[in-house]
Amino acid sequence: MRLLNSGAGGLRRLWSGLKSAAFCKEGGVRALWKLVFAYGLYILWAWAATYLLSLGFGALFAAWNVSAATVARAPGWAQGLFANYGRLISMISSAGAIALSWALARLLAGRRFERLRARDFALGALWGLLAVLAGAGLFLAVDSMRPYARELSFHTDLLWMLAVYYLAALAEERFARGLTMRVATLHAHPAWGYAASALMFLAVTGAYALRPLGIVNMLLTALICARLSATGKAGAAVGLRFAWSWASSAFIAFPGAATGAQAALRLYAVSENWLTGGDGGLICGAWMTLVLLALAAWLLRKPMRTLWQQMAARRESAKTKKH
């Protein structure tokens, strides 16, 4: 009997602990489970969109007898579709993720997303573009990287990738920051919003599979974008990620960029891989670490100054009490 009572008591305590972990005191579901639910839906949508659309395009091309071996004999529009259907799938997947984020924000947080301002977007895009172009110029100047060809070549792929990366950056903003930060801070300190956003950012971008320095750089990126989003400049976060991704993969193809797009300039690594990132891509190099640290320091200068002043005031208060 004692064993039964002890077992029942243990089950009650376990149930009570699970309820405490799953629900707030107000009776609402805790942010953790909301975000797990949201991420599950995101993964399901991404898989379904990619798998089902790939099957659909495959069946369509089979019906038209279009393949890699026969596409040269197909009409021009069929050749264009065959060359770009992967990008169409990516754009549809991103558009669906944006719609899913909007619906989940209304359901889980009861709020709408703020509108993106063109001025903020342009500023963020300028930051991202300058970071990539300055890095490329530095690497070429010190002979850390070399171009495959001396001439720039422009292709319609550049325009396709503008659309692909814009939708991807917007989907990332809406899901990893707009939705995640709002849900995480409903009943918690804003710092939890930054932490949740960083983890969701790593999850949706797959950055957890990068080299250690690449993961650090992506966490710095998550912090910067979260700060921009939290201060009403979500457009700048979208612009930064959009321009950085497009410039380092489609416009200038650094080693590690596997987009399949015909870039205007392609580079290969020669030396100083610790600086450039080498075959791991620009995100895995110390150059991006320096750029991101400088940008983070500038964006966080006000809260850091406030924190320093508070610490100084506490030290003065402690000295006064001693005397």
DSSP track, 131-195: HHHHHHHHHHHTTSEEES-SS----THHHHHHHHHHHHHHHHIIIIIIIHHHHHTSSS-HHHHHH
Q: How far are the Cα atoms of 73, 216, 254, 265, 278 from residue 268, in angstroms, in the given order? A: 34, 23, 7, 10, 8
pLDDT band per the 50, 70, 90 thresholds, residue 127: very high
State mean pLDDT over 275-286: 88
The residues, ordered by sequence, that sit 6+ positions from 260 with a Cβ below 8 Å of its Cβ are 86
Q: What is the pLDDT of residue 117?
A: 94
pLDDT band per the 50, 70, 90 thresholds, residue 235: very high
* Domain ranges for the chain: 26-317
What percent of the chain has pLDDT above 70? Answer: 89
∠ CA(247), CA(217), CA(290), 5° rounding? Answer: 80
| More reliable by pLDDT, 319 or 133 | 133
Q: How far are the Cα atoms of 173, 182, 196 from residue 189, in angstroms, in the given order? A: 20, 11, 11
Residue the block writes with tokens 């169409």: 88
pLDDT digits (tens, 9 = 90+) for 140-171: 999 888 888 877 888 888 889 999 999 999 99
CA trace torsion 304, 199, 276, 128 (10° rounding): -70
State mean pLDDT over 258-277: 82
Does the structure show a pLDDT above 80 at 207?
yes
Cβ burial of 163 (10 Å; 0-12, 13-18, 19+) is: middle
Q: How far are the Cα atoms of 25, 58, 160, 170 from residue 93, in angstroms, in the given order? A: 37, 17, 15, 12
Q: What is the pLDDT of residue 184?
A: 85
- Least confident range of 48-57, 181-190, 279-288, 313-322: 313-322
Q: What is the pLDDT of residue 107?
A: 87
Query: pTM score, two decimals?
Result: 0.85
What percent of the chain has pLDDT above 90? Answer: 45
- First CA to last CA distance, the chain: 63
CA–CA gap between residue 277 and residue 297 (Å, rounded): 22
Contacts of range 148-152, beta carbons closer than 8 Å, 24 or more positions apart: 148/266, 148/267, 148/268, 149/265, 149/266, 152/264, 152/265
CA–CA gap between residue 161 and residue 165 (Å, rounded): 6
Cβ atoms of 255 and 279 within 8 Å: the answer is: yes
∠ CA(262), CA(241), CA(266), 5° rounding? Answer: 25
Q: How far are the Cα atoms of 46, 85, 133, 158, 316 from residue 292, in angstroms, in the given order? A: 29, 34, 15, 25, 34
Q: What is the pLDDT of residue 1?
A: 54
pLDDT digits (tens, 9 = 90+) for 50-61: 999 999 999 999
pLDDT digits (tens, 9 = 90+) for 71-125: 888 888 888 888 888 999 999 999 999 999 999 998 888 778 888 999 999 999 9
Q: What is the pLDDT of residue 225?
A: 95
State mean pLDDT over 289-300: 94
